[in-house]
Every structure is written in structure tokens, then in C-alpha cells.
Amino acid sequence: MKSTTNKTELLVKSAIVAAIYAVTTMINPLSYLGIQFRISEVLVLLVLIDKRYITPLVIGNIIANLNSPLGYFDIIFGSLATLISLLLIIKTTNLFIATLWPAIVNGLIIGIMLNRLLNLPLLLSIAQVFIGEFVIVSIFGYILFNKILKDEVLISKLRIS
């Protein structure tokens, strides 16, 4: 019985996270192209609480990028950037350093993609994506998760059994 409950909890929490990521990205006009401030990116730090959030975050990213003007390029490279960031985050013990991975990885991968597809200046594209990720994940996310990670009750609610 406990195994069924655990699978149900995993499915429900995963669906909620994927949906929140996708919807929050899709309704935000600054989620795509050169200047990106994806509020949803703060959710990548959930992998610090439970690494099983990797799959729903990548799925949420894929769903969100279905709405991207760059089509399947953003679906492929955006989800790849998210996956790489998540894998680096779970390997990092320092919270602030962990928050830097999405800015670095997305800045490089998405910046290069924007340069190649839209002929935007490479360094400007990298910088714009980096800055958006830095503001959302490294500043806002650091402040938020610094508090969350000190709250055992909240962590127990967010952790998947």
C-alpha cells in the first residue's frame, strides 16, 4: 500500500511542478527570445530538496517551449540546458554556487542558439540570458531557498516520500 501512495505522491507533485513551470513560463511575455526573465526558473532549485524533481522540471520546460517562437530548437536546446543545469545543481553543496548553474548554462546554450537562429550578437545574447537567469535564480531564488531550506516542515512537504 505504501508503494502505491509513494507513486501517487510522486505523480501528483511532479504534475503540479511541471504545470506550474509550463504555465508560469507561457503567460510571461518575457519568457522567450533575447531578454528572458522566466519566473518559473526559480523552481529548478527544488532539486536541492528532492532530485526527483528533475523529470517534471524538464517536462515543464518542454511544454513551455512548445509556445516558443523558436519552435523545436527551443524545445531541444532549452530542455537540454535545463537538464544540464539541474544535474549540476544536485552536485553542488553551496546554495549560491548552485544558483549560478542555470545562469551559466542557459546563458551559453540559449545565447548561442539565439545567435545562430536570429543572428543576434553572440556576447549580447549570452549576457541577456545570463542576466535574466541570474536575477531570477541567483538573486530571488537564493533569497527564497535560503529560507525554505531552513524550514524543516516546508522541506518535508516538498520532499517526495
**C-alpha to C-alpha distance for 51 and 147, rounded to whole angstroms:** 19
pTM over 0.85: yes
- Residue 125: count other Cβ atoms within 10 Å of its Cβ: 25
Average pLDDT for residues 131-146, to the nearest whole number?
Answer: 98
Determine the angle formed by the axes of helices 72-90 and 54-65, rounding to 10 degrees: 160
Q: What is the pLDDT of residue 125?
A: 96
100-117: pLDDT as tens digits:
999 999 999 999 999 999
28-40: pLDDT as tens digits:
988 988 788 999 9
Which residue in the block uniquely carries the three cell numbers 548552485? 98
Average pLDDT for residues 107-129, to the nearest whole number?
Answer: 96
Task: Say whether pLDDT at 161 is over 90.
Answer: no
Task: Say whether pLDDT at 43 is over 60.
Answer: yes
Q: What is the pLDDT of residue 2?
A: 62
Number of folded domains in the chain?
A: 1
Average pLDDT for residues 9-21, to the nearest whole number?
Answer: 97
Q: What is the pLDDT of residue 6?
A: 87
Q: Which residue has the higher pLDDT, 2 or 45?
A: 45
45-103: pLDDT as tens digits:
999 999 999 999 999 999 999 999 999 999 999 999 999 999 999 999 999 999 999 99
- DSSP for the chain reads -HHHHHHHHHHHHHHHHHHHHHHHHHT-TTSSSSS---GGGGGGGGGGT-GGGHHHHHHHHHHHHTT-TTTHHHHHHHHHHHHHHHHHHHT--SHHHHHHHHHHHHHHHHHHHHHHHH---HHHHHHHHHHHHIIIIIIIIHHHHHHHTT-HHHHHHHS--
Q: What is the CATH number of the domain that holds 30?
A: 1.10.1760
Average pLDDT for residues 130-144, to the nearest whole number?
Answer: 98
- Residue 152: count other Cβ atoms within 10 Å of its Cβ: 8
Q: What percent of the chain has pLDDT over 70?
A: 98
Q: What is the pLDDT of residue 34?
A: 79
Domain that holds residue 143: 2-158
